[in-house]
A and B are shown apart, each in its own frame.
Chain A
């Protein structure tokens, strides 16, 4: 067993887990942050995407013990002071989700993407979310949501 400490959504968190504990399960089961979802557990669907030191990674393809000491942001950490983030609002405004199961992975991915690409083209957005599966929306409104989020971020910044 290993004592694993991470900074999760800005807060130091610790749990004692076996080495094989996937980061996805560590967040969901050991820390109770169930917003991160697992859709395939073999790295294809992207539902479990979290930000590791700010970059999107598959939490189902990461052992918690391996990222001890690092910073993780989950969907629960996107809202600030109870206010939904621009990305979250963009998805809600543009009907960018239906069942909502894949949504946390899209939100974390889009959050990192828009931080680095504040005014993206359609092709940029498509490439950015190209590793996330959604079975409900047909993606059209997801692309629209990311563009809307970029607008909202620009408004916040101005």
Chain B
């Protein structure tokens, strides 16, 4: 039996539990807890002038009604601004329950606790809130041009303004370079709102132990450690008296990294106050109107380039819609600004963004986190340059690629982690070669013309991206071998379906030389590991994977040292195979790791037969040394942290062939191909799964999903009936190929893979539709109705908005 499991398509260890219905998601816990529902604002912008509960208090089963006035000191303050930034000059966050003003439909105003959720909702219906209406601010351009303000102390609704510029090598400013360039293009791009939409909404369940004065909170979160610190701080509890656990989490995709959500403070607070178990399970409508959205941007682009398509200067102005509040700072537009550069060497680059308040749900990272918008900008730019020059789109891209011998490549900007944007490794020309092979790029023109003879419209599109993954500051891992030979691994970050129990077990089994069946993994439980950052930014495998590997190496070193004593061998001559420590080349001179674990812990008391070996009269150590040597600890366990100097940069390229119906304007993806490079793959099956899921979300974002607000700030499609998440019938078969350029930055050589699939999809599909239709596609998502309207306007405006034919 091999224990070299790293890199193998090992089946998931989570699945036996999950397919049997034995998962434990938030709402599966706390069968006897009281239920919470909220009165949420039906208006986008209003003053609260009164709250009347008279009609509600007689409802049988009602336990408590709370408004902002009822909240204690810490809970009354605005929620924290999690990631401050000097450019975020006007950061604003919400209250747990609205104080005086509501700024988006869905903002919580009154908290109701009742014996069950049905009754809690009955109570909510009977509470009358009176409002004085304020003018809602909806839409980016309205926000920056209009007189109405979301926050009266934020002029122009501008929360943040930031300019970054990388001058040309000769020192010229970007705008000067563009002005002097042989060719220039100028255009506008629009990306609309979407959202993470995990199948499980958020949820919080709190248990207060009044005797022990301790609090246990379960939250469907991407960061249990940070939720814990926020709860302790807000409720004034000693940190050791608060534990937070992320149980099985039904998807996250970014929205659950935001914290503390109002409910994460209010539910524990109520549990303590009432001395009862309290639970809130978000329903789908709540998730639509009171969690978070992402993506909406307007981009104004100017580009200067030469005859070969080399980009000499790129000037991008971004209007970014961050909704009503900025709890997560300006991470999304910063990522757009920096990751826009993709795999390219851009001669000079200027990017300016305004991050803008609107009376809509707040905007925080959604898988890709600003990258889809940046990649849309850059890839549309590449397509337009190719179009203008009459060149193949892949040749223009290749002309701008960073070459394999140019790594590490410094883009001379500051990334989202506050550290330099230096790419660690990659091979973009090889990725493109593989992609062109996979999709049949060079054969496509023939396919296209044959289809045209039958009256069919086919188009092909391509998109490239680079993704900074594994951002710091750190993660840790703890590994303990117990005297039964089992290996217990824990890390503080959480899981939302990525398969961490499997990949971390693969790493531990490989590092320690034990069968994977002996390894168990716990994530996101502060009782097991208290220090962590969280699961976001495609960082879990890189950060906790490496931390666990380092912790395993410490354990292994200790195990070999103890075994060497027992076997009277040199530790350097020992290795561990299948749970046995043995002399290299002499398997008979061996000792089970379980026994090493027994020996690692000098005992006075024997609790079982094995333990007798380690008791004080059984061991034969030197009488001149203490049983636990100086600098050592009892037990076969180790803890370590991984804290990288900077992010590691994964990359990939996608291509798609689409068909558009000449009559109905329906859009069908015929083929979708992905070449992906996330360094060393721990488990290729799981990497592919991440890519499939990412592409599916990308297809949703390109063709189906958008949050539609009317001018009053009402979200018109706050349900799965009208927010069109794709079913199986809308997602194409995804063909994949891989490239592995290891990261030099971490011991395992890995890069993150979680977000990648979603990033370039809108750019790819837009390019493909443009190729099929010969109509400019500058706004995504696009529906058949949109395409019909574009065809119509292109017919009426003739050549102006039409593309020149490619050669």
Contacts and interface: CB of A to CB of B under 8 A. Distances in A.
Direct contact of A and B (CB under 8 A): yes
Given A132-B727, A138-B731, A140-B734, A91 B692 contact: no
Nearest to A122: B733
B218 to A, nearest CB: 14
A97 B19 CA distance: 9
Given A42-B721, A44-B719, A99-B200, A138 B693 contact: yes
B16 A92 contact: yes
Contact of A84 (B11, B19, B31): B19
A140 B251 contact: no
A84 B720 contact: no
A94 to B, nearest CB: 9
Contacts of A97: 12, 15, 18-19, 497
Given A126-B728, A130-B727, A135-B725, A98 B693 contact: yes
Contact of B199 (A20, A79, A102, A131): A102
B595 interface: no
Given A42-B721, A140-B733, A140-B734, A91 B727 contact: no
B693 A92 contact: no
B210 interface: no
B28 to A, nearest CB: 4
B697 A135 contact: yes
Determine chain A's interface SS by DSSP, over half rule: loop
Given A41-B284, A91-B15, A100-B14, A138 B695 contact: yes
A92 B15 contact: yes
A91 B17 CA distance: 12
Contacts of A34: 21, 24-25, 27-28
Contacts of A65: none
Contacts of A141: 689, 692
Contacts of B644: none
Contact of A131 (B25, B253, B721, B727): B727
Interface string A92-108: 11010111111110010
Given A74-B21, A92-B19, A135 B197 contact: yes
A138 B734 contact: yes
A44 B24 CA distance: 23
A38 B282 CA distance: 11
Given A42-B721, A47-B199, A84 B692 contact: no
Given A44-B719, A138-B692, A92 B12 contact: yes
B721 A98 contact: no
B696 A100 contact: no
Nearest to B200: A101
B571 interface: no
A100 B694 CA distance: 16
A84 B16 contact: yes
Nearest to B686: A95
A47 B250 CA distance: 11
Nearest to B696: A138
Given A41-B284, A133-B725, A135-B253, A95 B21 contact: no
Nearest to B496: A99
A129 interface: yes
A28 B498 CA distance: 26
Contacts of B498: 98
Nearest to B698: A138
A133 B11 contact: no
Interface string A103-122: 11001000000000000000
B729 interface: yes
A10 interface: no
A32 B497 CA distance: 23
Contact of A137 (B23, B200, B689): B689
B219 to A, nearest CB: 15
24 contacts: A34-B28, A37-B250, A39-B200, A39-B250, A40-B720, A42-B719, A75-B20, A89-B19, A95-B11, A95-B689, A99-B248, A99-B249, A100-B14, A100-B15, A100-B18, A100-B19, A100-B248, A102-B250, A132-B727, A133-B725, A135-B199, A137-B692, A138-B689, A138-B695
Closest 4 CB pairs of A and B: A35-B21, A99-B497, A101-B250, A138-B692
